[in-house]
Amino acid sequence: MALWRQQVCAMTRVRFLKLKHEGKVLRSILLFFGIFILPMLIAFIVLRLWDVSSNWEITSSSYFLPTKEKTQNKSTNLLIFNDTGSEIEDFIAALKTQNIIPEITLEKNITSIPMHNGAIKISLEGKSYRYTVMCSAEPINCFPVLVNILSNTFLRLFNSTARFRVWSVPFYSTEYPETKNELFFICLTYMLILAAGLPPHFAVSSMEDYKLQARAQLRLAGLFPSAYWCGQALVDVPLFWTL
């Protein structure tokens, strides 16, 4: 067994050196691999670009003024109606951690409040707080933003460092998942063809050894046939699965 292991290691080193010095076989393998992987790579890039262009994250800074500076002309302060009869410092502090400037009012008549993009009304019913979100008619996706702000505020009140995020998918199509499934099966077919086409390229080196009678000379020198093939496989199999 010690001799067999030594022969396997020797054949592995010989096989590796042959691939390293005979660039012809290695170049043909990489070319074959590149031809089949290029369409899948292009399809993957196109899908990623489509996802990036069709989906965008909705943030509160697009609707409400951040604590540092104004980012958009249409941004306004987030209006907070305090109908609890007490102070809500914890709630306001949790809002400020989200980089939002709240504007607190005790006004009962909501219609008399100047125009704002959105507002949150906090009222007390028994021992429970009730939160009502209100939006102006113009801002798009205002309700998801306010619900997201409210959810993140609750997380801060419970001392959580997690954060909810919201994305908009305005160009979502019901045919898009089917397209992705079809692309997956196409890629799977490509991979099967690739897996079937690579072994002959690895077999070229063994055929050259057979023509040069190198394998026969090694056997006459005492090389085990299994050591010859195992040494080849230790290089070819990892390279095959890597590709």
Q: For 52-102, write each residue's pLDDT tens digit.
A: 666 777 888 777 876 555 555 567 788 888 888 888 889 888 988 888 878
Domain ranges, ordered by start, for the chain: 1-54+176-242, 58-168
What amino acid is encoded at 178 in this protein? E
Phi, psi (rounded to 5 degrees) for 140: -85, 145
Q: How would you write 191-209 as a 3-class SS string?
A: HHHHHHHCHHHHHHHHHHH
Structure tokens at 114: 């100047």
How far apart, in Å, are the Cα atoms of 10 and each of 4, 218, 221, 229, 236? Answer: 10, 12, 13, 12, 15
**CB count in 10 Å sphere of residue 76:** 20
Phi, psi of 126 (to 5 degrees): 70, -120
pLDDT in tens, 2-45: 999 998 999 899 888 887 777 676 777 777 777 777 777 887 78
Instruction: Give 193's contacts (C-beta < 8 A, 6+ positions apart).
Output: 36
Q: How are beta strands 102-105 and 118-125 bridged, if at all?
A: unpaired
Per-residue pLDDT at 174 exceeds 60:
no
Higher model confidence: residue 129 or residue 182?
A: 129
Q: What's the pLDDT at 210?
A: 75
Looking at residue 148, what is its pLDDT? 92
The pLDDT tens digits of the residues spanning 130-170 come to 999 888 877 788 889 999 999 999 999 898 888 898 888 76
CA-wise closest residue to 93 among 108, 109, 104: 104
